[in-house]
Structure 1
């Protein structure tokens, strides 16, 4: 029964999150808000709401491993989505088709942030302030500096929706409520599955729940590759990943039993290190010179996929 509830809640989260992204874009078009930073925060917040909801619910039911694993696992699964589609559409050579100068700063930021979390998890007793880990304050500072740099150039937003701002806001809120309820059910069901089957809670958070909450990104990337808008796919995944880590900061704020990374299981470091390796391969693929041989081009993406499944087996 718990598996049925989990699957049903996951489907609802996916459908509602797609609507969140749609109406978040309407608000971005119709409101007076402008600039890369505001747009990224709005759309990033829309697509990342499932991760936030599930992690906050995990905090409420006192399951820090699911909360931490969900955020780290979502980032790992997002990279997996990107490289899987790159492998499927390998003849298009997506990594060679995008402007590396645009995406490398975000990818590098994601690597640094993930490395910071890996150190905090390994330290297991890192310093905290107001029951919030010092690393969380550093994450916020890094994010603000990067977003200010992104916001240095304004972009004109194309008007593609016929909906009014009021209609967009109302529908956005309705979709957010659905995600909030379904995401909470998803987390509770996931925790019940972990207890029922004896599976590691970190595995449930990092792979089962994280995969479910990241499926809206899968739809976005699939559509981008279909339209050959590879820069949109890379920007969506890499930008969403650093935004997700800001949601981990919010999770730590609500977990008032102490710094959440000090309490979470050491097994979460597997997911953090996996994230660093996958991002490192992505960075390499973005900055390497154009490769003519198809097999040589596909090696980094194939290696990333193998890494993911090996880590899944280890965590399981």
Structure 2
């Protein structure tokens, strides 16, 4: 049984990596045809698309009474997205650049959502009032993104005829995304089954096994984007994904069932999520609006330290 699971895990990983390449290449092409900026693509289509595994896992966990897995998956994914994914991407690509306006907007919202989550956790279990508020905040953020895109289009008006959207590009983007979803579902299933066989606790499974497993799309899309030089897309994918994970990934499941707050998660996991978010911006500003390889090493080292403390030190 273990051998079959390992084989399925390897095959699904190959499918996910290939699908991510197809998805990124065609998503950027669609954005170019429609006149959508790279960073807006990152924090909307790419971020939401790659966050669907976390969202689905959180909803399924809530419906199956395993809310600790759902919350752990979201918080763990957000920590991994910044410290792990951006850290690894910066190490491999050498640097990830961005521009001040987009960073300020998306970082502010990402940090705000993390603080909102912590405040609701301090008040007790996360119920429908908190859920409605979180979803409302996301809708406001999404409206701001639409407004930013309109401003971008006005500033980058192009002469001549706009290129036609090739249906083949759309089909390939959809197929790439479908490959991500299917591949990730198999990847998560095999990872969870292997974790259960090894006797991993539910909250730890959510924080690490499921969190990293469901974040594979962000990893491959972000890494692929960084290597291709699409820096705004890679950073936008992570920041947009973290915002979506909290406001929708926790907000919607909390509408279905009240989510209990784990004291250790409030004491350690949530604060670490805020710390790595702030650290990311400090490293980017210190690197002259670039997350350099040295900054990536620092972020990844922080994740390793957090994982060690969470697993062995508390």
The question of a shared fold, defined as TM-score above 0.5 by the shorter chain, is answered with yes
| Cα gap change, 1:133 to 1:247, in 2 (>3 Å) | closer
Instruction: Give the C-alpha shift of residue 107 in structure 1.
Output: 1.3
- Cα contact 2:43–2:238 (8 A) shared by 1: no
1:171-219: CA deviation from partner (whole Å, max 9, x where unpaired): 4444444444443344444443444333232322222233233344434
SS state of the match for residue 263, structure 1? coil
Contact 2:72-2:206 at 8 Å conserved across structures: yes
TM-score by length of 2: 0.73
User: Residues 163 and 114 from structure 1, CA distance in 2 versus in 1: closer, same or farther, beyond 3 angstroms?
Assistant: same
Question: For the residues of structure 1 that align with 2:146 and 2:45, how far apart are their CA atoms?
Answer: 15
1:276 matches 2:274: yes
Q: 2:308 aligned to 307, 310, 313, which one?
A: 313
Gaps of at least 5 residues in structure 1 are 292-296
Q: Cα distance, 1:104 vs. partner?
A: 2.5
Do 1:98 and 1:231's aligned partners in 2 also have CA atoms closer than 8 Å?
yes
User: What do residues 219-271 of structure 1 show as CA deviations (whole Å, max 9, x unaligned)?
Assistant: 44444544555444433332333233344156416x62x23xx3354444333
* Mapping for residues 196-211 of structure 1, pairs under 5 Å: 196-211=197-212
* Aligned residues of 2:24 and 2:221 also touching (Cα < 8 A): no
Number of aligned pairs?
299
Partner residue of 1:242?
Answer: 243
1:151 is paired with a residue whose SS is: helix
Q: TM-score, normalised by structure 1?
A: 0.73
CA shift in 2, pair 1:15/1:55, >3 Å: farther
Tell me if the contact between 1:57 and 1:188 (Cα under 8 Å) persists in the aligned partners.
no
TM superposition shift of 1:278: 0.6
**Runs (4+) of structure 1 moved beyond 6 Å?**
none
**Gap regions ≥5 residues in structure 2:** none
Q: CA deviation at 1:47?
A: 2.9
Q: How does 1:215-234 map to 2 (within 5 A)?
A: 215-226=216-227, 230-234=231-235
Q: 1:58 aligns with which of 51, 56, 61?
A: 61
**Number of the residue aligned with 2:100:** 100
Computed over aligned residues only, the root mean square deviation of the Cα atoms, in angstroms, reads 4.0
Q: Deviations over 1:88-133 (max 9, x none)?
A: 666xxx47x643333122112211111211232343334524xx63
1:12 corresponds in structure 2 to 15
From 136, 139, 144, the counterpart of 2:134: 136
Match of 2:75 in 1: 72
Q: Is the 8 A contact 1:53 1:179 kept in 2?
A: no
Give yes or no for contact 1:24–1:172 (8 Å, CA) kept in 2: yes
Distance in 1, Cα, partners of 2:35 & 2:294:
42
Aligned partners of 2:118 and 2:152: how far apart in 1?
Answer: 34
How far the C-alpha of 1:153 sits from its partner, in A, is 1.5
Structure 1 distance, partners of 2:110, 2:208, is 19
Give the distance between the partners of 1:183 and 1:85, measured in 2 at CA. 19
